[in-house]
Amino acid sequence: MPTYVFTNPKTGENFDKYLEYSDFDLLFRDDDGRKIYVIEDGTNCFLNLGEQLVKTRIEDSEIWNGMESHALAVHPEQIREEKEYAKKRGVDIDFNPQNGRPRFSSRKNRRDYCKLRGVVDYDGGFSDSI
């Protein structure tokens, strides 16, 4: 269930609203074409895409901070060799020294390393395809 950011025009405050995709599609649009969510007092609050993008980027960067893969792990003794192999092929990757799991710094880093190792990531988004 996605979180959307709406702005109350009376107060100028932003608030998060959890909506199913089907509920989001039922929201009506105002004369300017903005999606509207009506709160309890009858105020038409509009979808704030600018705040939504900022919020998404912050959450996305927090998610990718040190994300590790179990499936692509190597033995801890092989970390140095694997880092050299990846670096020669243009992929800068870090590993957890205790368990040999690769640590991804971004979506692109994960995509590039998966492609290097010949692994298809079915959990990736549309922009992560190989």
Say which residue, 126 or 103, is predicted with more confidence. Answer: 103
pLDDT band (50, 70, 90) for residue 90:
very high
pLDDT tens-digit map of 59-89 = 555 555 667 888 899 999 999 999 999 999 9
- Nearest-angstrom CA–CA distance, 71 and 21: 31
- Nearest-angstrom CA–CA distance, 120 and 58: 26
* The predicted structure's pLDDT at residue 77: 94
What would the DSSP string read from start to end of 82-128?
HHHHHHHTT---EE-TTT--EEESSHHHHHHHHHHHT---TTS-GGG
Q: Please give the DSSP secondary-structure letter assigned to residue 42.
A: S
pLDDT tens-digit map of 8-61 = 888 988 888 887 877 777 777 777 777 888 888 888 888 877 665 555 555 555
- Nearest-angstrom CA–CA distance, 21 and 8: 21
* The predicted structure's pLDDT at residue 62: 54
**pTM for the full model?**
0.50
- Nearest-angstrom CA–CA distance, 14 and 18: 13
Residue identified by tokens 């499936």 is 71
* The predicted structure's pLDDT at residue 4: 81
* The predicted structure's pLDDT at residue 53: 56
- Nearest-angstrom CA–CA distance, 9 and 38: 11
